[in-house]
């Protein structure tokens, strides 16, 4: 049994830099260099900042000897692991499930896998990005973690702060699913429900960053975004490691801000350039809901500019109308020969049910978007049935019960009598 300490041992390893192999921040657009800090946008050109590393001497053996969590990849992340245990939820190392029944249902001739990130501590992949941002916040001396959230991030921030004894301020659109609001409020901290959509929430948080009240706060997906975004790479590392240190032929990734998609691709390029996996061609596919599909739209129109939209879909975790990493997601998709598709709300619901009844995995709406988009891409011939594929299920259906509540229910409601069972089973 693994016992996780919930307080940080003193950071005694003075020879160990706080940020591990990370050397600074660099502008994605103009290449300007910055030191490691709570910064996210270039002073010269307003481009997004990314973490820069000096990565040498990283081996498969060192990784596999590490903990059964995303911290096994700490040498590839912008935080040096404490000598003991990080005071966080230790997400990651979720199951990669071989999905033969689903593959049959889709007419696949190559293996199909579901990377099931609903197995994380707060049941979505957001625990990964928060773990990394939270560690960065601690090293930067910030005592509160904050976020603008479409729901899952709210859960992850509130829970992680509780675990580490930090403060939390979570800002959400007021119309989120009850399953996400109630859980977040139960973890504690401050929860602000804004009358407006996610893009309003995000703008509010950007404005708050200059405000004196937020001096000791780190907004994980705003001013700590470079660190946060790196956490998504661990999903890519795990898929490669769990496949036996290689990439699949195709991967399908739900797109909100587009960050996860770009980071899975980055993870595989890093592992390749470090010689940890063989060079292999893979195609990256993006998945959106019709009711919020600015990236799919730009892909279909063959343009680089993302036109913002007003979201209207049951896939609320993906409802970002003005996706910050949309252009970079388009780059990754086009460079690898993939595509971005989108699907209707009824298709999302059907796909949630298909995944549940073929594989026993109950996905949230984002998982439905991913599978439904893959079905569409197979039908249109943009994705191939004879190429090994990984679908990312990024969240748990128990948080979005309303999506299916109206279309499923008991086979029959009966009295406790054997004859009524017979009757119920005889009814077609």
Residue with smaller CB distance to ligand PLP, 152 or 214: 152
**126 lies in the site for ligand PLP, by CB under 6 A:** yes
Return the ∠ at Cα 220 (arms to 266 and 331), rounded to 5°: 30
Residue with smaller CB distance to Zn ion, 43 or 408: 43
**256 lies in the site for ligand PLP, by CB under 6 A:** yes
In the list 91, 92, 119, 258, the residue contacting ligand PLP (rule: CB under 6 A) is 258
Return the ∠ at Cα 317 (arms to 263 and 358), rounded to 5°: 85
Contacts of residue 402, defined as CB under 8 A and 6 or more positions apart, other chains included, come to: 177, 178, 314
* Separation CA 258–CA 251 (nearest Å): 14
Phi, psi for residue 158 in degrees, rounded to 5: -65, -40
Structure-token pair, residue 231: 């956490």
**395 lies in the site for ligand PLP, by CB under 6 A:** yes
In the list 364, 373, 383, 397, the residue contacting ligand PLP (rule: CB under 6 A) is 364
In the list 4, 8, 13, 32, the residue contacting Zn ion (rule: CB under 5 A) is 32
Q: Put residue 212 in one of left, alpha, beta given phi > 0 → left and psi -120 to 50 → alpha.
A: alpha
Interface with Zn ion: number of residues (CB under 5 A): 8
Q: Which stretch binds Zn ion (CB under 5 A): 20-28, 135-143, 251-259, 355-363?
A: 20-28
Asked whether the CA dihedral 121, 227, 240, 72 is positive or negative, the reply is: negative
**30 lies in the site for Zn ion, by CB under 5 A:** yes
In the list 37, 47, 66, 167, the residue contacting Zn ion (rule: CB under 5 A) is 47
* Separation CA 190–CA 209 (nearest Å): 17
Contacts of residue 256, defined as CB under 8 A and 6 or more positions apart, other chains included, come to: 150, 317, 318, 319, 320, 323, 366
Q: Select from Zn ion, ligand PLP, none the partner in contact with residue 257, using the beta carbon and a kind-dependent cut-off of 5 to 8 Å.
A: ligand PLP
Residue with smaller CB distance to ligand PLP, 58 or 343: 343
Q: Which stretch binds Zn ion (CB under 5 A): 31-39, 241-249, 262-270, 396-404?
A: 31-39
**33 lies in the site for Zn ion, by CB under 5 A:** no
- What x/- string results for residues 86 through 125 when contact with ligand PLP is judged by CB under 6 A? --------------------------------------x-
Q: How far is the CB of 138 from Zn ion (least distance, A)?
A: 27
Structural contact between residues 224 and 121, judged by C-beta atoms closer than 8 angstroms: no
Q: How many helices (H) and strands (E) in the chain?
A: 15, 13
Angle of helix 345-359 relative to helix 365-379, nearest 10 degrees, comes to 100
**24 lies in the site for Zn ion, by CB under 5 A:** no
User: Which residues, numbered 293-332, are part of the site for ligand PLP (CB under 6 A)?
Assistant: 317-318
* Separation CA 95–CA 115 (nearest Å): 6
In the list 33, 44, 104, 423, the residue contacting Zn ion (rule: CB under 5 A) is 44
Residue with smaller CB distance to Zn ion, 25 or 76: 25
Bridge partner residues of 287 (DSSP)? 254, 341
**233 lies in the site for ligand PLP, by CB under 6 A:** no
* Separation CA 361–CA 248 (nearest Å): 21
Residue pointed to by tokens 């790479």: 233
In the list 259, 358, 389, 400, the residue contacting ligand PLP (rule: CB under 6 A) is 259
In the list 78, 119, 254, 338, the residue contacting ligand PLP (rule: CB under 6 A) is 254
Q: Please state whether beta strands 112-116 and 250-254 pair in parallel, antiparallel, or not at all (unpaired).
A: unpaired
Interface with ligand PLP: number of residues (CB under 6 A): 16
Residue with smaller CB distance to ligand PLP, 11 or 331: 331
CB atoms < 10 A from the CB of 273, how many? Answer: 11
Q: How far is the CB of 117 from ligand PLP (least distance, A)?
A: 8
In the list 77, 142, 146, 255, the residue contacting ligand PLP (rule: CB under 6 A) is 255
Q: Tell me which residues touch ligand PLP (CB under 6 A).
A: 124, 126, 152, 254-260, 317-318, 364, 366, 394-395
């Amino acid at each position: 049994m693994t016992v996780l300490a919930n307080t940080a041992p003193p950071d005694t390893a003075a020879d160990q830099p706080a940020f591990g192999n990370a050397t600074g921040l660099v502008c994605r657009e103009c290449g300007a260099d910055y030191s490691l800090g709570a910064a996210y946008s270039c002073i010269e050109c307003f481009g997004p900042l990314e973490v820069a590393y000096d990565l040498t001497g990283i081996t498969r053996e060192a990784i596999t000897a590490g903990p059964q969590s995303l911290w096994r990849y700490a040498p590839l992340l912008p935080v040096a692991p404490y000598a003991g245990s990080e005071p966080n939820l230790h997400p990651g190392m979720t199951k990669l499930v071989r999905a033969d029944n689903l593959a049959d249902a889709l007419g696949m001739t190559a293996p199909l896998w579901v990377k099931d990130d609903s197995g994380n501590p707060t049941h979505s992949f957001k625990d990964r990005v928060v773990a990394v941002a939270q560690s960065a916040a601690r090293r930067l001396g910030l005592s509160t973690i904050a976020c603008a959230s479409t729901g899952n991030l709210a859960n992850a921030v509130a829970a992680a702060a509780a675990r580490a004894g930090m403060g939390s301020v979570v800002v959400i659109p007021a119309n989120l699913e009850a399953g996400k609001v109630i859980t977040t409020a139960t973890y504690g901290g401050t929860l602000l429900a804004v009358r407006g959509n996610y893009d309003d929430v995000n703008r509010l948080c950007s404005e708050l960053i200059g405000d004196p009240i937020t001096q000791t706060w780190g907004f994980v997906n705003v001013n700590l975004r470079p660190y946060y975004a790196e956490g998504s790479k661990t999903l890519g590392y795990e898929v490669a490691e769990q496949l036996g240190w290689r990439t699949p032929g195709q991967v399908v990734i739900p797109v909100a801000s587009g960050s996860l998609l770009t980071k899975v691709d980055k993870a595989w390029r890093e592992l390749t350039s470090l010689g940890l996996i063989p060079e292999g061609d893979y195609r990256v596919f993006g998945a959106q809901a019709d009711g919020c599909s600015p990236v799919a739209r730009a892909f279909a129109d063959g343009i680089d500019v993302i036109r913002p939209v007003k979201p209207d879909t049951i896939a609320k975790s993906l409802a970002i109308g003005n996706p910050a990493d949309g252009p970079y997601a388009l780059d990754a998709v086009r460079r690898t020969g993939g595509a971005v598709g989108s699907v209707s709300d009824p298709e999302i619901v059907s796909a949630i049910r298909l995944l549940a009844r073929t594989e026993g995995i109950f996905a949230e709406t984002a998982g439905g978007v991913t599978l439904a988009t893959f079905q569409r891409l197979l039908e249109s011939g943009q994705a191939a049935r004879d190429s090994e594929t990984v679908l990312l299920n990024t969240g748990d259906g128990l948080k979005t019960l309303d999506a299916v509540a109206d279309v499923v229910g008991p086979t029959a409601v009966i009295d406790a009598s054997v004859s009524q069972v017979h009757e119920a089973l005889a009814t077609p």
